[in-house]
Structure 1
Amino acid sequence: MSQTTNRQILFASHPDGMPKPENFELATSALGPLAEGEVRVENHYLALDPYIRMRMETKDSYAPVMALGEVLVGRTAGKVIESRAPDMPEGTWVVGRLGWQDYSTAKPAELTRIDPQKAPVSSYLGALGSTGVTAWVGLVHIGGVQDGESVLVSAASGAVGSVVGQLAKRRGCRVVGIAGGPKKCKIVTDRFGLDACIDYKADDFSDQLTQAAGTGFDIYYDNVGGPILDAALPHMRNNGRIPLCGLVSQYNATKPYGVTNLREVFNKRLTIRGFVISDHRDVFAKATQELEAAYADGALVYEETIQDGLENAPTAFISMLQGGNVGKQLIRIIPD
């Protein structure tokens, strides 16, 4: 099978606050022939993740910013449709950081094989992929979770947070989630099995948090930063741990939020540690093993918010940043 043209979403301009459709450009480019050792991947699913917003800034953060005119960064799951690499034949299903486009050219070393017979293709961009590994690394490797501890997790209906909660429950922990709105909170308790969920949009959020905290939390898995981190600090137990996975509440902020409860970090000897999963490749295999086992025995379920069509990726990305998703936000490029 040979393709000659490729649709791509390009980074058109830097956003000021929340991204807008004009920050993206749909373009068509020609596909050249493969070089020796390369494969061509037909991308079926594209993952839209909050970290991409940081890559749209003008200054580097933990990763380099994107240049204007580049294809947007992002992980995809797809099938090899052309190959000049003997060890990766046509028909192989793979995941890779291949960008917002219909087709991608890559070398086998840049790709990870997946098995559609074991789990749906899309799950390898979420609970059984880097998202699940992120949850595991933060909770187990960074947070050092112990059986039976008390855990608080923000963005608990989201892709990472929902896995964190379920992994903690699998260890016999008491787990409280934070999510936005009664509908999401119901999913957190009914679908993901957490013990309680607090609605951060509710007028009595602070009272809800105090009641749910009881004697305090050993771990707060933070995906959002900002006011929710501030609110959580007084409810931590002595020597509590806070794995800092993301700051989604701040990605579009034009003015930084100043945490006011930092004294609690000193008073309770708390540990706050930011992490990036690419620094922890040595535990990926261990994380994946537990995720696959949890999925196989029914202890790990997941939700996806799927929008069809590559051309709809910008609006779906913006919606995700505004909390419009439950679980992993995906674009289905090739219909099932």
Structure 2
Amino acid sequence: MGAYFRTDFDEPAVPAELPMQLATGMNQALTIADQMVRGRGIVGRVTGDFGAVAVKVHGTGGPVRVTVSIGLDEVATRWWADRVRPSRTAPELPRVVAVRSQGRIRGGAVLARRQGWRGAAGAEATLSFDLAEGELNADGLLMVELGQTTPPEWAAGRLSTRPVVGLRINSIGVRAIDSVSAVTGPTGFSGCDFFVLQPGAGTVHRLTTDVVPSAPPLPLTPRNKLTKRRPARAAFKAVRAARRIVVRAKPYRPGPLAGVLAADLITGTPIAVEVAGDEIRLAAPPTGPVLLAAASPQPNLSWRVLEAK
């Protein structure tokens, strides 16, 4: 009972000392879990359209660096499918989420799984951002929230609806720093034809693409008495395994890059970009996270966007 709900029998919260590395939901410093199920090997898993945790931290009042690791796995996809009830033939779509802390948007991330020969690999994204002096004082609460955003019109049908459902918060790290710096987000390939530029990024970036397998078929839980029976479930499992092999064996010919679109990740407002070869140029440094995507869907391309030196 006490693992998920606060009762009179629970011990008082003990503030975590800096530096802190929280990798379990059973830690006494984790005082609030809103629309989250706590985990033992992870901080927790989101059950709704947003998920938030509050960690009691013995801060110094000075600036700190916060690092949040987010994960998308098979369980997350099944939780999502059980709640959204998509078509049985629908592919898994990329998830785009915003990360909020202390009431402010700090950045965003894209998570996309790709099909392997035996199963789909998980996806992880790590975001690091700074809290300025006074945002985390002694015995203060560190709030970390995952939330959905307003996708631009051109992304309709290309991104997952209710993208936060089932996602994991793998870990949260906090350490003291001398001065604040720009947000740093995932620097590897995104696994899809989307990428998020973090607030404070530069204006000139270089795009690298790689060919990846298609997205895996969605796992669907049996929904009626007939399909819940053991023979039917075994048949569904065999069919899904066959679909995985077909998806993985399918040749990938994404073709050349057709163009780049950009939009504010939070509001969906279009942002003008210039593209010359592999170079992407913004008119001004972004003040918030920016969603980049291929002008036409290329689901077998994985993007990596790094700031030009």
Taking structure 1 as the reference length, the TM-score comes to 0.22
Q: Which has the larger share of strand?
A: 2
In terms of fraction of residues, the more helix-rich structure is 1
The alignment's TM-score, normalised by the length of structure 2, stands at 0.24
